[in-house]
Amino acid sequence: MTKPARDGVDAIIEQWGQERPDLDHSPIGIVGRISRLAREIEARLEPVYKAHGLEPGWHDVIATLRRTGPDHRMRVSDFSGHLMLTSSGITKRLDKLEHAGLIRRDPDPGDRRGTLITLTPAGRELIDDLTAAHLANERRILAALSRPEQRQMADLLRKLVLGLPPD
């Protein structure tokens, strides 16, 4: 039986094992790899976004609007749950997207203090063109895993996300 390939996280676990053999270092094998993987995946996603004229962070906003249904519209307050950004972070992104002509801000007829964000026709065209390339890129990123392994990974990650203890 061949030994599995090693990565930098294996070396970290070994080093901690030498220095602190009294502790269980196994969580590093998961958390360390997830952390490193998140950075590596982001680095591989950004070039596809950039090739379509998007700045970092824009994809999430226009993709979120595109998924909302036929009117492609959301309240600004609804973005916070979808994008995990502060209100100032959302405002900065929306300002740039509006300036680029990809979204439009309108008063919310149901809440005179509120604002509705709507995907413009140009924004919809852009996200529709980008989505096929984005999904192909994600498939390329996941190519080391078979389809059953990808489903298993998705299930395990969902379980981990849903089981996170409160802050």
Is residue 35, in this structure, part of any structural domain at all? yes
pTM of the prediction?
0.83
Residue pLDDT, tens place only, 81-113: 677 677 777 888 899 999 999 999 999 888 888
> Structurally, how many domains does the chain consist of?
1
Is residue 8, in this structure, part of any structural domain at all? no
Q: What's the rounded Cα separation, in Å, for the pair 167 and 128?
A: 36
Is residue 123, in this structure, part of any structural domain at all? yes
Residue pLDDT, tens place only, 8-24: 999 999 999 999 999 99
- Look at residues 115, 106, 111, 109 and name the one whose alpha carbon lies nearest to residue 77: 115
Is residue 68, in this structure, part of any structural domain at all? yes
Locate tokens 């529709």: which residue? Answer: 128
What residues have CB less than 8 Å from 31, skipping those under 6 apart?
none
CATH number of the domain that 131 lies in? 1.10.10.10
Print the domain residue range for 157. 26-162
Q: What's the rounded Cα separation, in Å, for the pair 63 and 56?
A: 13
Is residue 102, in this structure, part of any structural domain at all? yes
Least confident among 23-37, 68-82, 125-139: 68-82
Is residue 167, in this structure, part of any structural domain at all? no
Is residue 39, in this structure, part of any structural domain at all? yes
Is residue 63, in this structure, part of any structural domain at all? yes
